[in-house]
């Protein structure tokens, strides 16, 4: 009830937004890429993107509770599909805007990450992992650890669970965790190189990180929301998305 009251207050406030503002809920892994895309779209369309970043599961729950977003860029297929089935999103708007890549990453160059060797190491104290119940990248990390036969051991006190991928990266950068499972997009440089120490698990070792977007049914700007999603399919947008470490 408290959450619903908060969203109602936000909606009342958001009713004063101009028609040139589009409210976008985005999965944390795609925030950096969307921040690159936003000025390009704004320059072309004259519309400002009001961006709210967080885990896919949390955004899904917020939308179910009436959060006033216009567009949802999810980190999975499941939540957009559920929103369509629940009448909360437009079926014709749903499409795959990117496919993510999982990376085991650390800013410590001496850790033996390749092949997941460090996950078997007795020197591993804490591993950053986004909540696998709400974030697809966390679930993918669990799949990789299960295949390596280390998940049960690490689950017993060695995992520093984060609410979203941004927080998982902060855990590693602050030293709370020595390494962690992240999205490649978080650590890729503009020239395509990967900063720090990284291991890319085989993409066949975890479920496809297909990311879908939808226009939300309650949005007062259905046409504007669809126009933005259509632009994400353009060559201009796709070039930015691909350079950020995503596939299609």
**What is the share, in percent, of the chain residues with pLDDT greater than 90?**
88
What average pLDDT does the segment 226-231 reach?
98
pLDDT exceeds 90 at position 118 = yes
Joined together, the tokens standing for residue 158 give 């060695």
Q: Which of 55, 61, 59, 72 is nearest to 183 (CA)?
A: 55
pLDDT at 94: 98
Is the pTM higher than 0.85? The answer reads: no
- Indicate the pLDDT class of residue 8, thresholds 50, 70 and 90: very low
pLDDT at 20: 82
- Indicate the pLDDT class of residue 4, thresholds 50, 70 and 90: very low
What average pLDDT does the segment 121-146 reach?
95
Residue 243 belongs to what H/E stretch? helix 235-243
pLDDT exceeds 70 at position 102 = yes
- Give the pLDDT confidence of 167-214 residue by residue, as tens digits: 999 999 999 999 999 999 999 998 899 999 999 999 999 999 999 999
State the Cα–Cα distance between residues 195 and 46, nearest whole angstrom.
35
pLDDT at 248: 85
pLDDT exceeds 90 at position 138 = yes
Q: Which of 183, 129, 134 is nearest to 160 (CA)?
A: 129
Average pLDDT, the chain: 92
95 CB-side CA count, 13 A: 11
pLDDT at 21: 95
Q: How many CB atoms lie within 10 A of CB 238?
A: 15
pLDDT exceeds 80 at position 16 = no
Q: How many CB atoms lie within 10 A of CB 136?
A: 29
- Give the pLDDT confidence of 58-93 residue by residue, as tens digits: 999 999 999 999 999 999 999 999 999 999 999 999
């Amino acid at each position: 009830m408290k959450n619903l009251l908060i969203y109602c207050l936000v909606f009342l406030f958001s009713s004063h937004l101009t028609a040139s503002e589009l409210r976008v809920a985005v999965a944390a892994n795609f925030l950096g890429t969307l921040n690159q895309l936003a000025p390009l779209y704004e320059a072309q369309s004259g519309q400002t993107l009001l961006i709210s970043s967080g885990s896919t599961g949390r955004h899904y729950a917020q939308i179910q509770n009436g959060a006033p977003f216009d567009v949802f860029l999810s980190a999975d297929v499941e939540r957009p599909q559920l929103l369509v089935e629940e009448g909360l999103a437009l079926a014709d708007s749903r499409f795959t805007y990117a496919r993510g890549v999982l990376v085991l990453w650390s800013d410590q160059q001496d850790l033996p990450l390749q092949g997941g060797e460090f996950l078997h190491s007795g020197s591993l104290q804490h591993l950053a992992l986004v909540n696998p119940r709400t974030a697809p990248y966390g679930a993918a990390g669990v799949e990789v650890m299960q295949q390596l036969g280390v998940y049960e051991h690490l689950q017993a006190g060695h995992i520093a669970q984060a609410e979203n991928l941004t927080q998982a990266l902060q855990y590693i950068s602050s030293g709370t965790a020595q390494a962690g499972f992240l999205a490649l997009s978080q650590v890729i440089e503009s020239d395509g190189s990967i900063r720090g120490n990284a291991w890319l698990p085989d993409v066949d070792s975890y479920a496809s990180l297909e990311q879908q977007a939808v226009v939300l049914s309650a949005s007062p700007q259905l046409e504007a929301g669809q126009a933005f999603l259509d632009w994400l399919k353009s060559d201009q947008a796709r070039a930015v998305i691909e350079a950020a470490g995503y596939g299609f």
